[in-house]
Amino acid sequence: MPLTPLVYWAQRHEEIYLRVELTDAQDIEVHANDTVLEFRGQGHGAKGLNEYEFSLELLHPVKSEVKHRSTQRQVNITLQKQQRGWWSRLTDQERKPVYLAPDFDRWMDESDAEMEIREKERKKNKTSRQRTNWLSNYKTGFLLLYNLVQFLGFSWIFINMTVRVFIIGQDSLYDTFHSIADVMFFCQILASVEVLNAAFGVVKTGVVPTLIQVVGRNFILFIIFGSLEEMHNKPVVFFVFLLWSAIEIFRYPFYMLASLNTEWKTLTWLRYTVWLPLYPLGVLAEAVAVIQSIPIFDETKLFSIPLPKAIGTSVSFSRFLHIYLILMFLGLFFNFKHLYRQRRKRFSVKKKKAH
């Protein structure tokens, strides 16, 4: 006839722990069915080597998954409560079985358990904060490096062009593309990252305004200037590059400081003011470049769309450029409105803080 082993128990808000005093236990079977726990096994217990078993009517339901682990000295059982909470006792009967006793090595009262939970939550929150800080530091480092590289690139362009005008004079306007284009290509390709930053929330800025500016500039740089060798010696290249770089040498250092939660008031004012005349002038220079390229596209048939002979020879790319000119000024209106709203919001907040 199976005997009953000594059983010690303890609890947490989510779990029940049982320690069965059975040495060198073998053939262990543990089952939990709602509020009933059954145990059977063989080993050295209180009455020597024998078969031992017990059955407990639990106070509240537990999950059917039971974890048990045998050691040389005992069998450890872990039950998961179906509802998180503190049990006043283990069994449904008020009078506990004689073989059942508290496990004082693991025992704690409800207040101790609450403290343990709070400690776990504190550690969890600390880990979460550390992860957040790591991501924040990574984002700060990325934005700082990105804006620094762009600032250095556009500064080199602006300074190089300015110095060349003073040294060479008017002739420097005609070879701007050959001397500056490589760096401008690099900076404008890198500027495409700003669209991704806006789309994925790395920076808090609108995706559409950023996309309009990046696509618009890259169209002028790669299609109008890059694909037409006849445009390389045009003075309009100088004015487009100069106006672009003049805006960016204030914008990127502003973002550098912003990534470090730092502000220089003079730079802030320049970032939100310089674009007022320079941005429309830049679009005007881009429009001039597009107008100058139209006869060249008509002559070279570059990017023209061939049509069946019954309809015609081809659709010239210049037709698209006429439409693009209209879109340019619509984009100017949209972005100018967006930037002006940003400027008014920025300085109205400053005035409110001052009051």
pLDDT digits (tens, 9 = 90+) for 171-197: 999 999 999 999 999 999 999 999 999
Catalytic residue among 286, 299, 324, 340: 286
Q: What is the pLDDT of residue 139?
A: 86
pLDDT digits (tens, 9 = 90+) for 19-43: 999 988 888 999 998 899 999 999 9
Q: What is the pLDDT of residue 150?
A: 96
Catalytic residue among 99, 279, 299, 340: 279
Question: 350, 328, 335, 171: which is closest to 263 by C-alpha?
Answer: 350
Q: Is the pLDDT of residue 354 over 60?
A: no
DSSP state of 172: G
Burial of 112 (0-12, 13-18, 19+ CB in 10 A): exposed
- The pLDDT confidence band at residue 46, using thresholds 50, 70 and 90, is confident
pTM as predicted:
0.62
Q: Is the pLDDT of residue 248 over 70?
A: yes
Residues 160 and 154: their CA atoms lie apart, in Å, by 10
Q: Which residues are within 8 A (CB) of 108 and not within 5 positions of it... i.e. 6 or more apart?
A: 10, 12, 116
- The pLDDT confidence band at residue 220, using thresholds 50, 70 and 90, is very high
- The pLDDT confidence band at residue 1, using thresholds 50, 70 and 90, is low
Paired strand residues for 273: none
- The pLDDT confidence band at residue 321, using thresholds 50, 70 and 90, is very high
Q: What is the pLDDT of residue 314?
A: 76
Encoded tokens for 96: 């506990």
What mean pLDDT is reported for the chain?
A: 87
Of the chain, the percentage scoring pLDDT greater than 70 comes to 89
29 is catalytic: no
Encoded tokens for 35: 């509020």
Query: Virtual CA dihedral for 229, 235, 236, 237, nearest 10 degrees?
Result: 60
Question: 256, 273, 274, 242: which is closest to 151 by C-alpha?
Answer: 256
- pLDDT (mean) for 327-337: 89
Paired strand residues for 305: 315
What DSSP letter does each residue of 110-127 carry, written as one string?
Answer: HHHHHHHHHHHHHHHHHH
Q: Is the pLDDT of residue 7 over 70?
A: yes
Which helix (H) or strand (E) is 280 found in, with range?
helix 275-300
Question: 185, 186, 164: which is closest to 235 by C-alpha?
Answer: 164
Q: Is the pLDDT of residue 246 over 80?
A: yes
Which helix (H) or strand (E) is 100 found in, with range?
strand 100-102
Residue type, 132: T
Question: 120, 107, 129: which is closest to 11 by C-alpha?
Answer: 107
Q: What is the pLDDT of residue 355?
A: 46
Q: How far apart are the first and last CA of the chain?
A: 89
| Strand, coil or helix: 67 | strand
Q: Who wins on pLDDT, 127 or 95? A: 95
Cβ(153)–Cβ(186) below 8 Å = yes
286 is catalytic: yes
Q: What is the pLDDT of residue 2?
A: 74
User: Residue 138's CB: how many other CB atoms inside 10 A?
Assistant: 10
Q: Who wins on pLDDT, 119 or 85? A: 85
Q: What is the pLDDT of residue 112?
A: 57
Residues 123 and 130: their CA atoms lie apart, in Å, by 10
Question: 6, 9, 7: which is closest to 108 by C-alpha?
Answer: 9
pLDDT digits (tens, 9 = 90+) for 280-314: 999 999 999 999 999 999 999 898 887 766 666 77
